[in-house]
Amino acid sequence: MIALGPLLIEGPLGMAPLAGFTDSPFRRLVRRFGAALTFTELISAEGIARGNRKTYDLMRFHKDERPLGIQIFGKDAARMAEAAARVEDLGPDLIDINVGCCAPKVCHSGSGAALLKDLDLLGAIASAVVKRVKLPVSAKIRLGWDDTSRNHLETLRVLEDSGVSFITVHGRTRAQRYTGSADWDAITEVRERARIPVIGNGDIHSHDQALQRLGESGCAAVMVGRGAIGNPWVFGTHVPSMRERAAVIREHIDLMVEDFGPYGLVLMRKHLVRYVHGVRNASRFRDAFVHQHTYEEIIALVDSLAELPESHDEEGGATGIPHIEPEDME
């Protein structure tokens, strides 16, 4: 067991929040494959306060996803505290504050990574949330707004002083978005100075690499984001056969349809194209997945995957970091 303040998790690898991907079915899958902690995508405190139905749909979860953090974003301390109280009533294990989102519609309103430019406000928000709920509270940050204003150590101090139980550090600035590479030296620096546990995050795409980052940084845990899309096996050491992959993809499809109805098949497409990354004739499968619409057609394609040879093609295997950018952060 690893202690993240009062929150105990079974292992050192967690699933990072990915808007549009880390929904309830996916969280169940990765949890089963060894992710010791899961998160919802970022959820608007305004939407929670208004009781917006779509916002509440994003917070539905299943007990098999626990320990689960519900991540909230906003720019007003009282509103964030109110949202946290409502979230607490839903019974997650943790409330996480988003201090890293770089999407313009979040940042331009002063939430997400914009809070890195106003640490007084960040402190007020984090303190208000911590005071309002009994659940552990964490925050997920970037290294700063841009390269000339990196302030990860000041941000750490402010969050510690406000009483959060732990922080997650994505080793990039807001200006970098998802370009360049995550700065693990800076993550290590945060860990060295911290009085609370630190989770490191950025560019991990294999189990070995996760353990290496964990060891080198000394972090309490590390989180995998894009590297788990189409590869939920990243949390363990077992390399699945094509037959096992196909069985898990089928299960994923069924969970999506169960949770979202027929629209689950549409949502599943972006996962399907990642699941075939690295398999022989991947582009043929990708095209086919986008054009097949019925459940039966998609299942037939997935079943044909099970018959493929185990070899990987020139795309570099199933573990390359996918080029996924957040486009729809709704």
Q: Which residues are catalytic?
A: 101
Dist. CA 66–CA 255, nearest whole Å: 17
Query: Does residue 322 touch ligand FMN according to CB under 6 A?
Result: no
CB of 244 to ligand FMN, least distance (A): 23
Q: Out of 14, 123, 225, 264, point to the residue binding ligand FMN (CB under 6 A).
A: 225
CB of 259 to ligand FMN, least distance (A): 18
Q: Out of 28, 31, 79, 140, point to the residue binding ligand FMN (CB under 6 A).
A: 140
72 in Cβ contact with 45 (< 8 Å): yes
- What order of strands is seen across the sheet that includes strand 38-44? 13-15, 221-224, 198-201, 166-170, 137-141, 94-99, 68-73, 38-44
Query: Does residue 101 touch ligand FMN according to CB under 6 A?
Result: yes
Q: Look up residue 279 and give its DSSP letter.
A: B
Query: Does residue 123 touch ligand FMN according to CB under 6 A?
Result: no
Q: Out of 7, 224, 273, 276, point to the residue binding ligand FMN (CB under 6 A).
A: 224
Which parts of 29-48 interact with ligand FMN (CB under 6 A)?
41-42
Strand ranges (DSSP E) for 74-174?
Answer: 94-99, 137-141, 166-170
Query: Does residue 59 touch ligand FMN according to CB under 6 A?
Result: no
Query: Does residue 111 touch ligand FMN according to CB under 6 A?
Result: no
Q: What six digits make up the tokens of 318?
A: 């199933």
Q: Out of 17, 25, 34, 69, point to the residue binding ligand FMN (CB under 6 A).
A: 17
CB of 18 to ligand FMN, least distance (A): 4
Query: Does residue 173 touch ligand FMN according to CB under 6 A?
Result: no
Q: Out of 226, 252, 274, 277, point to the residue binding ligand FMN (CB under 6 A).
A: 226
Burial of 52 (0-12, 13-18, 19+ CB in 10 A): middle
Question: β-strands 2-4, 7-9: how paired?
Answer: antiparallel
Question: β-strands 13-15, 221-224: how paired?
Answer: parallel
227 in Cβ contact with 321 (< 8 Å): yes
Residue in the structure block whose two tokens are 């922080």: 167
CB of 206 to ligand FMN, least distance (A): 11
Following CA atoms 116, 200, 67, 272 in sequence, which dihedral angle do they give, to the nearest 10 degrees?
Answer: 100
Residue count, binding to ligand FMN (CB under 6 A): 24
**Interface residues toward ligand FMN, by CB under 6 A:** 16-20, 41-42, 71, 98, 100-101, 140, 170, 178, 201-204, 224-227, 324, 326
